[in-house]
Amino acid sequence: SQKIEQNSEALNIQEGKTATLTCNYTNYSPAYLQWYRQDPGRGPVFLLLIRENEKEKRKERLKVTFDTTLKQSLFHITASQPADSATYLCALVPYRGSTLGRLYFGRGTQLTVWP
């Protein structure tokens, strides 16, 4: 079967530490992968996109890696803050050339950063 797995439903870390979230997929060949943040009762907000030919992408305190051999993306938040507490979703279009808009989401990892 085809699926996207985010291996931790919840992750709790102390302020200042680095949070690492994992997204694994099976039976897909995505050309790129996206990460979104979702706060309770709100819609997801786009954070980063990484393409299959990019090993790493950075934006401020965020870093994403993409390993198409392992079929895995890692999402890192360095120097984490309580304001980073939210659910983080990975998303992908399953195949190169897939119809525009068929973006599939993982279940998400709920991150809690405590002071």
Q: What's the residue count for the chain? A: 115
Query: CB of residue 30 vs other proteins: minimum separation in angstroms?
Result: 9
Structure tokens at 20: 């690492």
Query: CB of residue 115 vs other proteins: minimum separation in angstroms?
Result: 25
User: Can you give the binding site for other proteins, defined by CB under 8 A?
Assistant: 4, 9, 31-32, 34, 36, 41-46, 49, 51, 89, 93, 96, 99-108
Q: Which is nearer to other proteins, 13 or 31 (CB)?
A: 31
Q: How far is CA 7 from CA 21, 41, 56, 94, in A?
A: 8, 23, 20, 19
The closest of 8, 2, 12, 20 to 78, measured between CA atoms, is 20
Q: Which is nearer to other proteins, 17 or 42 (CB)?
A: 42
